[in-house]
């Protein structure tokens, strides 16, 4: 699957996906990386891996829709079949989502539907939950609200800080995102409304 990745930040999830691809354990081709932030670490990681990287700085556009139009054209030109959000800090508008006719996935550092949005790990600590984790889900028009593909729990320790909890969740994210994308690429993800079923070997035709 020809895959584009959008990232706004340091890009550790992007790097994990690139590394898994390079090791032959992820049957996708990352053909393009994009960001809304010119200095994003993710852009450097893409360049180091020889993947074309492109910036769509929001300040270059008069309207949000114009930025999204450029992203849509960029994906079309790259014949993208799968879009992965990896720390992309903007919500794709309903208009943008309506123009995308292939899967869009996101990773979020909590067990959704708990703690959507920013600072999910801080929200978890402030709430006082004993277990948090991460979620890979399909993107829909809402905020971290699409159908869930995979989740994995991470215990919250009494001595945890936002930093320590984030680090432990991140280590799981790096594995879980590749696991979910692999299942999708192998045709093992079946979606019925909000429910996502992972097909077992014997269920595959
Ligand atoms: C991750 O925690 C991811 O779950 C969230 O944003 C963060 C991105 O981190 N959506 P990185 O840029 O991949 O290191």
Q: Which of 6, 8, 10, 12 to mutate to test the pocket of ligand 1 (most atoms within 8 A of CB)?
A: 12
Catalytic residues: 108
Q: What is the pLDDT of residues 111-137, one digit of tens each?
A: 999 999 999 999 999 999 999 999 999
d(CA 173, CA 153): 11
d(CA 60, CA 27): 35
Give the residues surrounding ligand 1 with Cβ less than 6 Å away: 7, 9-13, 86-87, 107-109, 170, 173
Measured from the Cα of 8, ligand 1's closest atom is 12
Nearest-CA residue for ligand 1 atom 9 is 87
What beta strand segments (E) does the chain contain? 2-6, 29-35, 53-55, 82-85, 104-108, 131-138, 148-155, 189-192, 195-198
Residue 6: is its pLDDT beyond 80?
yes
3-state DSSP helix/strand/coil % of the chain, to nearest 5: 35, 25, 40
What is the share, in percent, of the chain residues with pLDDT greater than 90? Answer: 98
d(CA 42, CA 75): 18
Measured from the Cα of 42, ligand 1's closest atom is 12
pTM for the structure as a whole:
0.97
Measured from the Cα of 106, ligand 1's closest atom is 10
């Amino acid at each position: 699957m020809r895959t584009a990745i959008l990232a706004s930040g340091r890009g550790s999830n992007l790097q994990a996906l690139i590394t898994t691809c390079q090791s032959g354990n992820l049957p996708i081709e990352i053909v393009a990386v994009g960001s809304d932030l010119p200095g994003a670490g993710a852009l450097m990681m893409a360049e180091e891996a020889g993947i074309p990287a492109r910036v769509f700085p929001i300040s270059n556009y008069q309207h949000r829709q114009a930025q999204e139009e450029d992203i849509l054209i960029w994906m079309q030109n790259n014949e993208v079949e799968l879009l992965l959000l990896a720390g992309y800090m903007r919500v794709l508008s309903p208009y943008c989502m309506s123009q995308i006719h292939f899967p869009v996935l996101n990773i979020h550092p909590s067990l959704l539907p708990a703690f959507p949005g920013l600072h999910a790990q801080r929200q978890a600590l402030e709430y006082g939950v004993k277990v948090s984790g991460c979620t890979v889900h399909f993107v829909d028009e809402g905020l971290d609200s699409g159908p869930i593909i995979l989740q994995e729990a991470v215990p919250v320790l009494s001595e945890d800080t936002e930093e320590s909890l984030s680090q432990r969740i991140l280590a799981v994210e790096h594995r879980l995102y590749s696991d979910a994308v692999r299942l999708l690429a192998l045709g093992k993800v079946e979606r019925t409304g909000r429910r996502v079923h992972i097909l077992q070997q014997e269920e595959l035709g």
